[in-house]
Structures are given as structure tokens and as C-alpha cells.
Amino acid sequence: MNFVKKNWSGILLCLVIAIPSWFLGKIFPVVGGAVIAIIAGMIVTMFWNDKGKAEAGIKWTSKIILQTAVVLLGFGMNLGVIFQTGKQSLPIIICTITTSLIIAWIMRKALKVPANTSILVGVGSSICGGSAIAATAPVIDADDDEIAQSIAVIFFFNVIAAIFFPVLGKAIGFDTIHGDAFGIFAGTAINDTSSVTAAASTWDSMWNLGSETLNKAVTVKLTRTLAIIPITLGLSLIMAKKSAKEDVKTTKFSLKRAFPMFILYFVIAAIITTLCIHMGVSAEVFQPIKELSKFMIIMAMAAIGLNSNVIQLVKTGGKPIVVGASCWCGITIVSLIMQHIMKIW
């Protein structure tokens, strides 16, 4: 009862913002519900700074609901199918992820960008946009401003890619009879799933390919999403060792403390999905859980927007945008080079 009394108003506010954001995200998939929720939360905060009793529930939503959403994402992953169908794109995925993370690290040093922001932009650019940021943020203890800023940067380049990539694909001579080349390109070089599907669907429409490009792009994107697991585990160990060094006398490194339990639950969910599908259970059974996960991410993003200072974000947004642009350009170039080397394009 104390929990309900303390948090209900903040949770309800996030829910009220999330519901219309969810439906608007369906209408405008290139933008997506998460971005709409963040913007809505920021607008509310501009006119309502002192949230009073709602503040506790908003903070709870931005952390616990976000972690729960990441766990539920695992039910959307059949590890066997993704590994099997993603073999062709795996070398490209590894190269693009490595490129993005290296560029983010270099730009952090060169521009003196805050560590958490550069990590979130690098991971969001290289893996799966908002979902990767959602999974990584609790591990590195990123604050709401850093999360909101990173989401905004990823969104900006998502929109550009969704609009520009089909034109680029035509200009550089991608095969228009089959959707493999553009599907792999979209799946490896575009950050967020919504923009991947938007660009792939446009390519299918341009050349009357049905859903061939879309199927390829989504499969590649799901394969790429699996990188969340090693990346977050690696970051959790790095953060734990860093904390131990900062307080050598009183802190000993503990794998149990370092390991974020919600990532373990995420892996377990993916394994459960894989085993169930292997035993003949339809993948459609897990669709409601996937949709719930997406809605909870939108709800958490509403909380993050409510906790964000939009004026401060605008003032400090220049350097993160440069980091995002550098990562995005690097991923795009490496994806094209790898496809050319592998004779896909």
C-alpha cells in the first residue's frame, strides 16, 4: 500500500502520456512512439517543474519499467532462427558495431563528450537504437538527460536514413530484382527497427518486391539486436571494476553485484522463446509480450522526458549530434564496403 500511495500519481501520468504516444507511433512509424513520448514529457516539464508527489512514480517508471521492458524484449528473440538466417550478414554486423563503438570512443576523447552520452550514442547507433539505449542505460547508471539526449540523436539520424537510403540505394546501383542487398544494408546501417522497416518497405514498393526486402532487413536487424547481450555484460563488468578501483579499501569486485539481473532475465526469456518455438509453439504466441515490451519502453521514455531539462539538452546537444553523425557515417561506409567485398552488391 505504501508503494501505491507513493508512486501511483507519477506512474499514472506516464501511462497517460504513453497511450496516445503508442497510437501516434503506429501512425508515424518513422518517428516512433518512444520519441513522441519523450517529446511530450519534455513539453509537460517546461510548464510543470515542481512535480511534487508525482516525482517518485516518474523516477520508478524510468528505471523499473524500463528494465522490465528490456526483459520482455527477450521473448521476441528466437536465437536459433536468428543465428541461422543471419549468417550472411554476421561479418557486416560485427564490423559495423565495432566501427561505431571505436568512433564513439575516439569522438568522446576528441570532443570531451560525457562518457555516458558517447556510450549510449555509440551503442544506439551500432545495435538497435532506442532498445539498445534502454538496455545499456541502467548498466552504466546514465541519468535521464543523457538518455533523452541520446534518443534524440538516434531519432534524428533514423529519420534521415529512412528517407535518404532508398534514394542512395538506387543511386549506387543496388540490385532491384532481389531485395537482399538493400535489406542487408538497411538492417546493418539504420539504427532503429521502425526506420529499418520504413526504408525496406519503401524499397519493396519502389521495385514491386512484395515483402522480400523487408523480411531480409528485419532478420538482419534481429541478428544485430543480439549484440545487446555481450555489450551490456561487458559494460557491467567494466563499470564494476571502475567502481572497485575508486574505492579500493572498502569495495571488492563481485560478479554477482556487477551482473545486472535484468540482463540475465532477458537472456532467459530469449532461451525460453527459442525452446518453445523448437518444440512447435508458434512465434505468434509471444507477439503480445513483444507488444507489451514496446509499450513499456514508450511509458519509460515518457518518464525520462518528464525528468529531462529540454533547455539544457538543446544547449549541450551539438557534440552528441557530431558523435551520432560520425558513428552513422562510419557504419554506412563500412556496411557498403563489406557488402562489396562479400560480393553481395
For 12, residues 6+ apart whose C-beta sits below 8 A from its C-beta are: 57
Residue 108 pLDDT? 94
Residue 253 pLDDT? 44
d(CA 274, CA 277): 5
d(CA 74, CA 286): 10
Residue 248 pLDDT? 47
**Collapsed DSSP state (helix, strand, coil) of residue 22:** helix
Give alpha helix (H) positions in 259-317: 261-278, 287-306, 310-315
Residue 85 pLDDT? 57
Q: What is the residue extent of each domain of the chain?
A: 78-285+310-341
d(CA 338, CA 184): 11
The pTM assigned to this predicted structure is: 0.74
Decide: 119 and 139 in contact? Cβ < 8 Å: no
Residue 13 pLDDT? 95
Total residue length of the chain: 345
| pLDDT per residue rounded down to tens, the chain (345 residues) | 788 888 999 999 999 999 999 999 888 876 778 778 888 998 998 888 788 889 999 989 988 898 888 788 778 777 776 666 567 788 998 999 999 999 999 999 999 999 999 999 999 999 878 778 988 888 898 988 889 889 888 878 887 888 889 989 999 999 899 888 999 999 999 987 767 877 898 899 889 898 889 878 877 887 788 788 888 888 888 887 777 776 644 444 445 544 567 767 877 888 898 899 889 888 788 889 888 988 998 898 899 889 877 676 667 678 999 999 999 999 999 999 999 999 887
d(CA 276, CA 268): 12
